[in-house]
Structure 1
Amino acid sequence: MNNRILYCLAAASMALSFFFEHTPETSTSAPIIAQASLLPDFSGFADGTALPVFANDSVAYAHYEQKLGVALDHTEDKDLLETVLDWLGTPYRYGSNSKRGTDCSGFVTRVFKEVYGITLQRSSRSMFQNVKHVAKDEMQPGDLVFFRRGPGQPIYHVGIYLNDSKFAHSATNGGVMVSSLKQAYYQRNFYAAGRVALN
């Protein structure tokens, strides 16, 4: 029985040593080159939250695809994806734009300020007046998507296009989330897409 416990501990120790590498101390002044790992490094903290640093782009994009539920082309702006991921789950709160709660235009304005340093108009209708309109089949990650409830109705909702017909937004029935433009509700109410000038 004792041998079985020892074997299990030895196996666990070997498995852990595979994932956690130890760099021996050295007395030379030569720089130590970090070895690549499949696991992200969660040692960096920007604003109190862990910001993973990935070994390579493929691992980073795989992480975002899994967490956001979006098929990516691996050319998207990783800062945009990371920021959207950081906001996921924030509750809906009309007229607000903080992590305690945000409405749709508040979410969009905060993401654009954090990622691009751009201050957008606060309402979805004002945003629509200040973007370059693009065709639905020409949308790119970072474009804004606008919705209205029928012909002649005002724009009432805005989100950020990610890719693969998916967009991030703050919905009244769930807060910040990723949804599909192919869902019947959003397909029916989609009005237009617009591109913000980033320079």
Structure 2
Amino acid sequence: MKNTFLCCLAAVSLALSFFFDYAPESQVASAAGSPALAEASLLDLTSGDEGDRPTFRDSLAVGYYAQTLGIKADYDEDASLLRTVSEWMGTPYRFGSNTKKGTDCSGFVTRVFKEAYGINLVHSSRSMFNNVKRVAKDEMQTGDLVFFRRGPGQPIYHVGIYLKDGKFAHAATNGGVMVSSLSQAYYQRNFYAAGRVPNAE
């Protein structure tokens, strides 16, 4: 009985080792959940002869990063922005900094816009607010900035990047870079305005 069990165990072990040695890269990437492996097949976002139309590879990239961020995105969504935000997820909070070792809210926004669009923003949520085109809350688009303050007459103290479905990415003091919902009581109460950065496309 014991020998039979050991033989079965050995057979299963052999079968599993065969699977992991010879499985296609895409299966290994999805099984391991490895962003690095997935990115290798998704980051070539050139449109080739398609002109400005999104390619099938674009659609895969958008789908992958949207899933990472917990949003539903259309195939023609901004893949560069979603990828950049995804790469910053989990970065710890550090006041006055903007590196992947630690960043504050405005530092996170400045780095994402620099990496995704080549746009230099000032490392200050209040200065950012003074340099955006205001948009209504119900007209926000992916990539718009969302600003928060703690009541009428109070200064802006927090900024994030709107994604979709009422969700935004930001560097929170109690959790670092994450995705939160504008419908959460705290953010709903402190939401002040939204703005669009010129030339962010």
Equivalent residue, structure 2, for 1:37: 26
The one-letter code sitting in structure 2 at the alignment partner of 1:52 is A
Equivalent residue, structure 2, for 1:146: 147
Instruction: Report which of the two has the higher share of strand.
Output: 1
After superposition, give the CA deviation of every residue in 1:76-135 in whole Å (9 maximum; x if it has no partner). 222322222222222222211112221110110011111111111221111111112212
The one-letter code sitting in structure 2 at the alignment partner of 1:75 is D
* CA 176–15 in structure 1, closer or farther in 2 if over 3 Å, else same: same
Distance 2:59 2:162 in 1: 21
3-state DSSP class of the match of 1:52?
helix
After superposition, give the CA deviation of every residue in 1:124-173 in whole Å (9 maximum; x if it has no partner). 11111111221211211111111112222221110011111111111122
Distance 1:139 1:128 in 2: 15
Equivalent residue, structure 2, for 1:198: 200
Equivalent residue, structure 2, for 1:179: 180
TM score, norm. by length of structure 2 = 0.75
* CA 102–36 in structure 1, closer or farther in 2 if over 3 Å, else same: closer
Larger mean Cα displacement after TM superposition, 170-179 or 12-21: 12-21
| Match 1:52 to one of 27, 30, 38 | 38
Instruction: Report which of the two has the higher share of helix.
Output: 2
TM score, norm. by length of structure 1 = 0.75
After superposition, give the CA deviation of every residue in 1:46-89 in whole Å (9 maximum; x if it has no partner). xxx93633465565445434432223233322232222222222
Once superposed, what is the RMSD of the aligned Cα atoms? 2.8
Distance 1:101 1:162 in 2: 21
* CA 81–19 in structure 1, closer or farther in 2 if over 3 Å, else same: farther
Give the C-alpha shift of residue 21 in structure 1. Answer: 3.4
Structure 2 matches for 1:10-89, cutoff 5 A?
10-15=11-16, 17-18=18-19, 20-21=21-22, 37-40=26-29, 50=36, 52-53=38-39, 54=41, 60-89=61-90
* CA 39–105 in structure 1, closer or farther in 2 if over 3 Å, else same: same
Distance 2:179 2:17 in 1: 35
The one-letter code sitting in structure 1 at the alignment partner of 2:200 is L
Distance 2:120 2:37 in 1: 24
The one-letter code sitting in structure 2 at the alignment partner of 1:87 is W
Gapped regions of structure 1 (runs ≥ 5) = 23-34, 42-48
Gapped regions of structure 2 (runs ≥ 5) = 43-56
Larger mean Cα displacement after TM superposition, 78-87 or 121-130: 78-87
The one-letter code sitting in structure 1 at the alignment partner of 2:26 is S
